[in-house]
């Protein structure tokens, strides 16, 4: 049995919405489920959907997922899957990250097997851009083409979709019928100030006072998105760990380091201090609401897990746009208002 989700989630009401008669429920499988980030994107699109299965092995990510979506059939590490009796899916989601490329590139072969067994109408891959020149990715594209999929590939940046975040990811949308056109970029631009939490006094995040730590003041060209306040005296061989960003800048791509020294540093021009971005700001950079962050925080508790989890999430505004484009093509998946049904 799958897990039904949609407009009922977390107290959301239908508010004068009715389903199209004989509507088809979107059946979804996520082979890189994590805490359920892709389903969070789906929740915003006013459709009913059924989670057929997920694949996730991390106990902490599963705790959050189960809290948000309840227990679902879990395919674990994608080995020894029993397909008999499994509901077919319309949409399959999967991802490839830097860890997979370095340590678990064989995961791609597992994805291939599931896709060939299920043959969903739609596939969406979100991946680190470094996969693009790997032979394994080329083999994946050829494999899908031989199965009959039309593959559309694009590198998209969070900063072009309403977030002050220079994070690029590669997306591949594969369709059994037709070709996919990626969504247009947003014209609005945002800065770190838009996601910044005022009045953070916790010493854990404060790097130091400017007059004591600031060793070099820089002035970037006004056209640059990175407005650097300066650099700090920091015991690191990585130069980017020393950079202090202005609140009028955009954030560089967030990523997790087990050393714990990769948090983005900003100059708080209100308190006149240099501090690291805190976990809730990392989630905001990925497009998550504060309400969702608080639910996630209750389960993960530690900052280390929160930082790591934030870097693993889909870029929500991009995923929403891609899903919306697909759903617009399939009227039976949409939930329309009474007014729409009468015209």
Please write the tens of the pLDDT for every residue from 59-106: 999 999 999 999 999 999 998 888 887 888 999 999 988 778 778 878
**Total Cβ atoms within 10 A of residue 4:** 13
Beta strands in the chain (DSSP E): 3-5, 17-19, 26-30, 49-54, 91-96, 122-127, 150-157, 165-166, 168-175, 206-208, 214-216, 228-232, 243-245, 251-252, 265-268, 273-276, 335-337
**Separation between Cα atoms, residue 267 and residue 207, nearest integer Å:** 10
> Which residues of the chain fall short of a pLDDT of 50?
1-3, 5-23, 210-223, 237, 336-343
Q: How many residues does the chain have?
A: 343
pLDDT at res. 225:
65
What are the backbone angles phi and psi of residue 228, rounded to the nearest 5°? -90, 125
**Separation between Cα atoms, residue 26 and residue 43, nearest integer Å:** 12
Is residue 17 within 8 A of residue 7, CB to CB? The reply is: yes
**Separation between Cα atoms, residue 38 and residue 69, nearest integer Å:** 12
What are the backbone angles phi and psi of residue 18, rounded to the nearest 5°? -135, 150
Residues 6+ apart with CB under 8 A from 220: 226, 227, 228
Is residue 124 within 8 A of residue 90, CB to CB? The reply is: no
pLDDT at res. 99:
78
**Separation between Cα atoms, residue 133 and residue 205, nearest integer Å:** 38
**Separation between Cα atoms, residue 38 and residue 65, nearest integer Å:** 11
pLDDT at res. 203:
82
Q: What is the dihedral of CA 274, 226, 254, 189, to 10 degrees?
A: 110
DSSP state of 107: H
pLDDT at res. 258:
62
- According to DSSP, the β-strands at 91-96 and 26-30 are parallel
Q: Which residue has the tokens 């009922």?
A: 8
**Separation between Cα atoms, residue 173 and residue 151, nearest integer Å:** 6
């Amino acid at each position: 049995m799958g897990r039904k989700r949609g407009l009922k989630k977390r107290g959301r009401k239908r508010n004068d919405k009715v389903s199209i008669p004989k509507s088809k429920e979107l059946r979804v499988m996520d082979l890189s489920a994590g805490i359920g980030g892709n389903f969070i994107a789906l929740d915003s699109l006013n459709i009913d959907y059924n989670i057929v299965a997920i694949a996730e092995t991390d106990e902490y990510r599963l705790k959050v997922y189960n809290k948000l979506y309840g227990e679902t059939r879990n395919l674990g590490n994608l080995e020894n899957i029993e397909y008999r009796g499994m509901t077919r899916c319309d949409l399959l989601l999967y991802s490839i990250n830097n860890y997979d490329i370095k340590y678990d590139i064989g995961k791609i072969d597992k994805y291939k097997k599931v896709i060939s067994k299920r043959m969903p109408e739609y596939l969406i891959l979100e991946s680190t851009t470094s996969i693009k020149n790997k032979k394994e990715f080329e083999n994946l594209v050829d494999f899908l083409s031989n199965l009959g999929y039309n593959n559309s590939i694009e590198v998209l940046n969070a900063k072009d979709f309403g977030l002050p975040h220079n994070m690029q990811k590669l997306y591949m949308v594969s369709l059994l019928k037709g070709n996919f056109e990626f969504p247009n970029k947003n014209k609005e631009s945002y800065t770190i100030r838009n996601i910044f939490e005022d009045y953070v006094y916790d010493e854990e995040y404060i790097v130091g006072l400017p007059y004591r730590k600031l060793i070099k003041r820089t002035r970037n060209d006004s056209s640059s998105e990175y407005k650097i306040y300066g650099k700090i005296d920091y015991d690191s061989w990585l130069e980017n760990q020393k950079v202090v960003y202005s609140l009028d800048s955009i954030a560089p791509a967030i990523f997790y380091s087990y050393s714990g020294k990769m948090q983005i540093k900003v100059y708080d021009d209100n308190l006149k201090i240099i501090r690291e971005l805190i976990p809730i700001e990392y989630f905001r950079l990925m497009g998550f609401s504060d309400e969702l962050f608080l639910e996630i925080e209750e389960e993960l508790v530690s900052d280390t897990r929160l930082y790591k989890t934030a870097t693993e999430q889909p870029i929500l505004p991009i995923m929403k746009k891609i899903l919306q484009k697909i759903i617009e093509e399939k009227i039976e998946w949409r939930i329309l208002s009474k007014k729409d049904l009468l015209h």
